Structure formats: C-alpha cells, structure tokens
Structure 1
Amino acid sequence: MKKVALLVLAAGASSRMQTHIKQLLPWKNSTFLENALATAKDTEADQVFVVLGANYELIVSKANFDGVSLIRNENWQLGIGSSIAKGVAHLNNLTEKYDAILVSLADQPLVDASYYNQMITAFKNSNEHLVATNYGAKKGVPALFAKEYFVPLTHLNQDFGAQKLLNDKNALSINSSINNIDIDTWEDYQLLLNKID
C-alpha cells in the first residue's frame, strides 16, 4: 500500500498581516494553524508534518500539535520553497519511508479533508506522480508529489515554491470544488470572517 505524508507549510512571518501572527488568528473554535492540522489529521494521509519558522517559540507555546510531527525551518526568510525543501529533506531522513508527499498551506482555511483525500486517491489508484490544484493559468498547492520528486523538492529555495516544477511537468490538475483562497492580509481575514458570519 502506498504511504502518503501530508506536509503543512506554516513558516512565514505573515508580514502583510500588520502586527498579527497569521498562524494564531482565531478561526472556528481554534486558530488557522490548528484548523489546518485538524483537517490534515482527518485525511487518509499516514502521517502529518508541519513546518514552522517565524515566531517558532510563540506558536509552539500556544498551539496544539498532538499527533503531528514538528519541523523547524531556520531559513524561513528564503520563502516557501525553503520550507518545502526542509520538510522533504526531513522526511527523506526518516526510517519510515513515504511514497508521496502532499504539500498544503496553513492559510487556506476553507480547504477540507475530502479535497486532500481526492488527491491521495488519485495518486493511489493511478500512475499519477504529480497531482496539483488547478488555478486556471497555472497549477499550485495543495499538490501531491511522488517520491521521484523528493530530491528536486529538497533543492527549492525561492519564494515561488514548487510552482515551476508543477507547471513544467505533466501534473494531473484537479479543479477544486471548494474555496482554496489564501488569506494573506488582515483585510483578507476580515472579509473571510464576514462571509462566514
């Protein structure tokens, strides 16, 4: 049986959130980060990992990481690519080996477990090696990478992450039936709260 790790990226400094730490923003009955981790744990993935960087000590002291493996990216300032590289390198060094890594973002609070499971199922039941989210003109995360892409992923170090890899290769593109909007600014967060209320 193919084993899948789910890697939640939450290392950024949220510079466009003014003085707020995005990972700890209230969301539902917890926070953005805890919601992302709960969603990840509710999937068919075999293990959940989270990459933290900026505000590491504060986030670790305030959030619940039960059942989740923590990875610290000391070079988070280099952007999302460095967090993917750090996470994949960590998984490569484990005794437990995985056949694929599903990369997700902590700041997409409306993405649900069923969407992640759709990607996992597409990988397990086919010969697909890349499964990406369709954003129209481009493909992006959430995205699932089979193990032959683990080494290229460890070489990422720029802020556009794995997008070039996804768009250069013949990735299976899934049209998300849910809202996969990123919450990047304080205004985005306020609009999100107003839609939910």
Structure 2
Amino acid sequence: MMHSAPIALVVLAAGASKRMGQPKQLLPWGTSTLLEHSIQTALQAEVKKIFVVLGANHDILKSSIENNPVEIIFNSNWEQGLGSSISKAIHHIQQSDMQFEGVMFMLADQPYITVFYLNTLIRRFKSNNRQIIATSYEHGERGVPVLFDKVYFKELMTLTGDSGAKPIIKAHESEVDIVFCGIKNIDLDTQNDYLIAYQENFTK
C-alpha cells in the first residue's frame, strides 16, 4: 500500500444482509470473499490507513479479515443504518493518534470498484479545500465511493439512518466534485443480484 495522501479509507461492512439471507460480506468472489476483495482493493490505494466498520456478524467477519493490516471498528448501533457506521468511523478516526486531512468511504459489496478508480478520486483531493468528491454512475446516480475533506467531520459524526452521507452531499452541493466511474451502481443485495454478478465474472 502506498501512503501518499493523508486520507483515511473506511470500508463500510456492518450491515446484516437481510435481503441476502446470509452475511453477504462472506460470499465468494473469485478466490476470496466480497469483504476480502474490497479490503485488498483498499490496501492498494494511495492512502494513509484503512479502517473497516463491522456490526452484524462481527465475530465471524472479524476472524475472516484480522490478518489484514487494517483497523477494525465495531459499530454496536449498526441496526440504526449506514449513517451510524459513518458516524462511528469518524468518532474513531478523530480519537486516533494519526492526523487525517480527509476520509473516503467505500462499501464491501461493490466488487466492480477498482484501485485505479479509488486513486483517481484520491489524486483529485486537495487538503483544506472543502472538497466532497463523489461517484457518479450510469443513469445519473450519485454515491460511494465518496471522499470528504476534514471540514465535514463534525457533520459526518451526526449521521444516523439508512441514507448514509447523502444529506451532507446535498447540503453542500456547490462543493461537490462529481467523478463518473463508467459502471452501473450495482448493489449486491439479493441472491439473484449476487448470482448474476458472479456468473458474469467467473463462469465464462
């Protein structure tokens, strides 16, 4: 991992995968799992440190990734939604001995996001410039990965609910730099979503 930017990269993986019927973080993806794949992608990014937020199924997920050079954060309030994991991560980062100029969030169930794309966002970041660098997908959707300047840390710590950081992005739209990633925003939320994606990539 190259440490070229004072950025914390947070992999959000605290959900219970209710629609999947099992912990989707542990579903196979190539020779690893969805969570392991996202961590390996993150570890190649040009950032200072990697954090992984766990919640539901914490013990089994922790044991599957604890050999990776990442710092695990446990969100006991994971049932409150994605916003609570973002808030927990920022509280943890603020208490860290390390100083960060920004934070990037990515999801554990976005296997099409590449390290090249993560580094594209990172290289656009300029410290102390109030930037929010968000991803744009086909059909105009906006979402993660997203990178926030540290000026937004206080707001990020107040988040709750399932909408994640969207309210902050909306409130500061004039500061948002949109990057088009060139793929569909594919959320692997159901067995069917996962099977289609897996077959497209590994059964040709």
Please confirm whether the aligned pair reaches a TM-score higher than 0.5, indicating the same fold.
yes
- Amino acid in structure 2 at the alignment position of 1:160: S
Aligned length: 196
- 1:82 and 2:87 equivalent? no
Aligned-pair CA distance for 1:138 = 4.6
Equivalent in the alignment of 1:159: 162
Q: 1:101 to 1:146 in 2, by over 3 A?
A: same
Aligned-pair CA distance for 1:168 = 2.4
Aligned-pair CA distance for 1:194 = 1.6
**Structure 2 regions of 5+ residues with no counterpart?**
none
SS in 2 for 1:124: coil
Q: Work out the CA distance in 2 between the residues paired with 1:125 and 1:50.
A: 23
Deviation digits for residues 145-167 of structure 1 (CA, Å, limit 9, x no counterpart): 00000110000011101011112
Equivalent in the alignment of 1:13: 16
- 1:121 and 2:123 equivalent? yes
- 1:174 and 2:196 equivalent? no
Q: Point out 4+ residue stretches in structure 1 off by more than 3 angstroms.
A: 124-128, 135-138
RMSD value over aligned CA atoms? 1.7
**Greater alpha carbon shift after TM alignment, 146-155 vs 54-63:** 54-63
Aligned-pair CA distance for 1:12 = 0.1
Aligned-pair CA distance for 1:127 = 3.9
Q: Scaled by the length of structure 2, what TM-score is found?
A: 0.90
Q: Work out the CA distance in 2 between the residues paired with 1:149 and 1:65.
A: 31
Q: Scaled by the length of structure 1, what TM-score is found?
A: 0.94
Q: Work out the CA distance in 1 between the residues paired with 2:88 and 2:157.
A: 7
Q: Percent of pairs identical after alignment?
A: 40
Q: Does structure 2 retain, via aligned residues, the 8 Å contact 1:122–1:128?
A: no
Q: 1:126 to 1:22 in 2, by over 3 A?
A: same
Equivalent in the alignment of 2:47: 45
Which residue, 181, 193, 198 being the options, matches 1:193? Answer: 198
**Structure 1 regions of 5+ residues with no counterpart?**
none
SS in 2 for 1:184: coil
- Amino acid in structure 1 at the alignment position of 2:58: Y
Q: 1:22 to 1:112 in 2, by over 3 A?
A: same
**Greater alpha carbon shift after TM alignment, 118-127 vs 47-56:** 118-127
Q: Work out the CA distance in 2 between the residues paired with 1:58 and 1:96.
A: 28
Equivalent in the alignment of 2:113: 111
Which residue, 124, 140, 144 being the options, matches 1:141? Answer: 144
